[in-house]
Amino acid sequence: MRVIPRSSKNILEWEQGTLKARLTAPPVDGAANAALISLLAERLAVPRRTISIVRGETSRQKTIEIAGLTLEEIERRLQ
């Protein structure tokens, strides 16, 4: 997953097989990570506690784990 902070609005989009998150939050004090988790939870209709950042907490490139959902289910829910 690729994260782009300080965008004009919060959006999730697919680009070349990779999920891209555009977030209004700045990359300061974990604000962008919190905004990412909230956006994913809202769009996937899952509790925020089921979403965790496995790798890349301080990077724009992140690996996300969502408990209870397969990749196919995630792709289906986001389309």
Q: Residue 1 has what pLDDT?
A: 93
Fold of 2-78: Conserved Hypothetical Protein Mth637; Chain: A; (3.30.1200)
Coil, helix or strand at residue 17? coil
If one counts every other C-beta atom within 10 angstroms of the C-beta of residue 78, the result is 13
Exposure letters 42-56 (e unless 16+ CB within 10 A, then b): eebebeeeebebeee
Q: Residue 17 has what pLDDT?
A: 85
Number of residues that make up the chain: 79
Neighbouring residues of 42: CB distance < 8 A, sequence distance ≥ 6: none
Q: Residue 79 has what pLDDT?
A: 83
Give pLDDT < 50 ranges for the chain: none
